[in-house]
Chains A and B, each alone.
Chain A
Amino acid sequence: MIQATFMSTLSEIFTGLNWIGLGYFLALNSIYLILITVAAINLGDYFRRKPFSGFQDALKSPVTLPVSVLIPAHNEETGIVESARAVLSLDYPQLELVIVDDGSTDLTFERLRDAFDLVEIPMLVPELVPTIGHIDSVHIAKGLDDVTVIRKQSIGQKTDALNAAINIAKYPLLCIVDADAVLDEDALIKVTMPFVDDPQRVVATGGAIRPSNGCAAYRGRITEVGMPNNWLARMQVVEYLRAFLLGRTGWSKLGALLIISGAFGVFRKDVIIDIGGYNQGSIGEDADLVARLHKYMRKNKTPYRIVFVSEPVCWTEVPESVAVLRRQRRRWSRGLLETLWSNPTLLMNPRYGTLGLLAVPYFLLFEVLGPIVELTGFVTLIVALIFHFVNFYFAGLFFTVAIFYGILLSILSIFIEEVSYHRYDKWRFLFQTIISALVENFGYRQMHAYWRLEGVIQALRRSDRSWGSMPRKGFIPSETT
Chain B
Amino acid sequence: MRFALIASVLLLSTLIVLMLIATGIIRLVRTHSEIRSLANRAQLRQLFVKFVSEDLDPSELRQLKTSRSTELGELSEAMLSKVKGSAKDILVSFLESRGTVEQAIRRTTRSGYLGRCRAATFLGHVGSPQARKPLEAMLRDRKRDVRITAARSLGQLGDAKSVPSLLSGLDNRRRSLPFSTVLVALMRIGSSAQDLVGDGLQAAGERQREVAAEFLGLMGAIKFTATLSELLANDPSLDVRIRCARALGRIGSPSAIASLTRCIESDNPVGLRTVSCGALAAIGGREVAMLICKLIGEDDYQISLAAAKAVSQMGPVGIECLDQIASSGSPGAPYAKEVLARAAARMVGKARNPSES
Contact = CB atoms under 8 A, between A and B. Distances in A.
A142 B338 contact: no
B352 to A, nearest CB: 6
Contact of B2 (A397, A407, A415): A397
A303 interface: no
A57 B27 contact: no
A419 B338 contact: no
A143 B334 CA distance: 22
B295 to A, nearest CB: 15
A412 interface: yes
Contacts of A411: 16, 19-20, 23
Contact of B22 (A49, A126, A398, A415): A415
Main secondary structure of the interface of B (DSSP, over half): helix
A400 B15 CA distance: 14
A48 B179 CA distance: 23
Interface string B339-357: 0011001101110110010
A144 B356 CA distance: 10
Interface stretch (B181-189, B190-198, B254-262): B181-189
B330 interface: no
A301 interface: no
A54 interface: yes
Given A143-B345, A404-B13, A397 B19 contact: no
Contacts of A404: 8-9, 12-13, 16
A143 B341 contact: no
Interface string A285-305: 000000000000000000000
B225 interface: no
B356 A62 contact: no
B224 interface: no
A401 B121 contact: no
Given A52-B148, A64-B180, A398-B5, A142 B27 contact: no
A6 interface: no
B88 interface: no
A366 interface: no
B149 interface: yes
A110 interface: no
B346 A145 contact: yes
Interface string A399-431: 011001101100110110011001000010010
Nearest to B300: A126
Contact of B181 (A54, A394, A430): A54
Nearest to B24: A430
B141 interface: no
A401 B338 contact: no
Interface in B125-147: 145
Contacts of A95: none
Nearest to A414: B23
Given A54-B148, A119-B345, A61 B183 contact: yes
B30 interface: yes
Contacts of B346: 142-143, 145
Contacts of B180: 57-58, 61, 63-64, 196, 199
Contacts of B214: 62-63
B24 to A, nearest CB: 8
Contacts of A4: none
A415 B19 contact: yes
B181 A57 contact: yes
B178 interface: yes
B107 interface: no
5 contacts: A57-B152, A58-B180, A119-B348, A140-B341, A407-B12
Given A58-B180, A63-B214, A198-B178, 11 more contacts: A52-B121, A54-B152, A117-B349, A119-B348, A124-B335, A142-B352, A197-B148, A401-B9, A405-B12, A408-B12, A411-B20
